[in-house]
């Protein structure tokens, strides 16, 4: 059985045992998380979400992505700007899907 959840402004198709990286969630490694915005579970489709449905998971680690460098340069002006960014992520293992 699979489910489609929404977290961090994105949608993820998950099934039991999956490990995925989502936008930063509060909590340390080993903490339990519950996703309440379930858009679809199995063959049930919500409008927009399924009432009573939830997906449980466990935080595996708090990580960050690889650095993305934004480099801007103006030619012949001896001007440039270099900025880096690393997005915070939470690695979550899906433990259970409740269709409701």
pLDDT of 44:
87
Going residue by residue through the chain, which has 100 residues, state the pLDDT in tens, using 9 for 90 and above.
899 999 999 999 999 999 999 999 999 999 999 999 999 998 889 889 999 999 999 999 999 999 999 999 999 999 999 999 999 999 999 999 998 7
Enclosing domain of residue 13: 2-98
How many domains does the chain fold into? Answer: 1
Could you tell me the pTM of the whole model? 0.83
Could you write out the DSSP letters of every residue in the chain? -EEEEEETTEEEEEETT-EEEEE--SS-TT-EEEE--EEEETTEE-SSS-TT-EEEEEEEEEEE---EEEEEEETTTTEEEEEEE--EEEEEEEEEEE--
């Amino acid at each position: 059985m699979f489910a489609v959840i929404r977290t961090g402004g994105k949608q993820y198709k998950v099934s039991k045992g999956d490990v995925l990286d989502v936008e930063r969630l509060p909590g340390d490694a080993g903490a339990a998380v519950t996703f309440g915005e379930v858009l679809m579970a199995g063959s049930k489709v919500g409008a927009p979400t399924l009432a009573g449905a939830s997906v449980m998971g466990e935080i595996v680690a708090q990580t960050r992505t690889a650095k993305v460098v934004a480099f801007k340069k103006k030619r012949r002006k001896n001007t440039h700007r270099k900025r880096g960014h690393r997005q915070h992520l939470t690695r979550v293992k899906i433990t259970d899907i409740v269709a409701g």
